[in-house]
Amino acid sequence: MGLHPGARALVFAKIVVFMACAMPGALLVRGALLNELGANPLEALIHGTGLWALRMLLLTLAITPLRRLTGWQWLQRFRRMLGLFAFAYATLHFRVWLALYKGFSWAAIVEDIGERPFITVGFLAFVLLLPLAVTSTRGMMRRLGRRWQPLHRLVYPVAVLGVIHFVWLVKADWLEPAVYGAILALLLALRLPTVREALAGRRGRGVKPA
């Protein structure tokens, strides 16, 4: 028995979103293999993976307010995929730093985490992201029950720490991280109860009776 048109459209949309999310990573790997990442390929690789981790994280946070604004409930189906891609890019970011910058020297790694604030913050964000990825399945949602949602609110401090990590990393040119910080501030503001109620009322007034 085949899928009905709505289900087929959702499957197709998920494939498109998956490919779009995977494409930046594939291009970074291709660039590294073909030596097309510029004069400092290591810096381009670690910057690219970190930037896409933050972008995916912000896209994940955008799903709920966008769903509330538009009433498009199907957007919720993409939140887990985007969140897992955020974790995948964060893992690549961490692994590049771990292997290529530190050569798996645990003494140097511990020293950096303890003494360099932007690395401390970035490492903390990655650690907080781990339980979110592990408990993202439906089975874990059922197993954790009411504890699942409070646990996944860790995504908010993870995003804040990610932006701080970016700001402290660039040191001087704050324009790009400031843009991401502004986007995060907007996404968090849209979750405030008063803002949510105002937007819900506005959307409700825009719905015409059948």
Which pLDDT belongs to residue 207? 47
Which pLDDT belongs to residue 4? 67
pLDDT at 160 over 90: yes
Q: What is the pLDDT of residues 6-24, one digit of tens each?
A: 778 888 899 999 999 999 9
Comparing C-alpha atoms, which of 59, 58, 55, 61 is closest to residue 191? 61
The overall average pLDDT reported for the chain is: 86
pLDDT at 36 over 80: yes
Q: What is the pLDDT of residues 105-125, one digit of tens each?
A: 778 788 888 888 888 999 999
Which pLDDT belongs to residue 205? 59
Across residues 22-37, what is the average pLDDT?
91
Q: Which two tokens stand for residue 80?
A: 């887990």
Which pLDDT belongs to residue 203? 62
Q: What is the pLDDT of residues 65-104, one digit of tens each?
A: 888 888 888 888 999 999 999 999 999 999 988 887 777 7
Across residues 53-57, what is the average pLDDT?
96
Share of the chain above pLDDT 70, in %: 91
Domain ranges (residues) in the chain: 47-204
Q: Which two tokens stand for residue 151?
A: 């646990």
CA 54-55-57 angle, 5° bins? 65
Q: Which residue has the higher pLDDT, 207 or 192?
A: 192
Share of the chain above pLDDT 90, in %: 45
CA 204-205-207 angle, 5° bins? 70
pLDDT at 208 over 50: no
Across residues 166-191, what is the average pLDDT?
89
Cβ-Cβ contacts under 8 Å for 151 (sequence gap 6 or more): 131, 132, 135, 144
- Residue 26 binned pLDDT confidence (cut-offs 50, 70, 90): very high
Q: Which two tokens stand for residue 6?
A: 């709505």
Helix (H, G, I), strand (E, B) or coil at 161: helix
> Which class for 20: exposed (0-12), middle (13-18), buried (19 or more C-beta within 10 A)?
exposed
pLDDT at 5 over 70: no
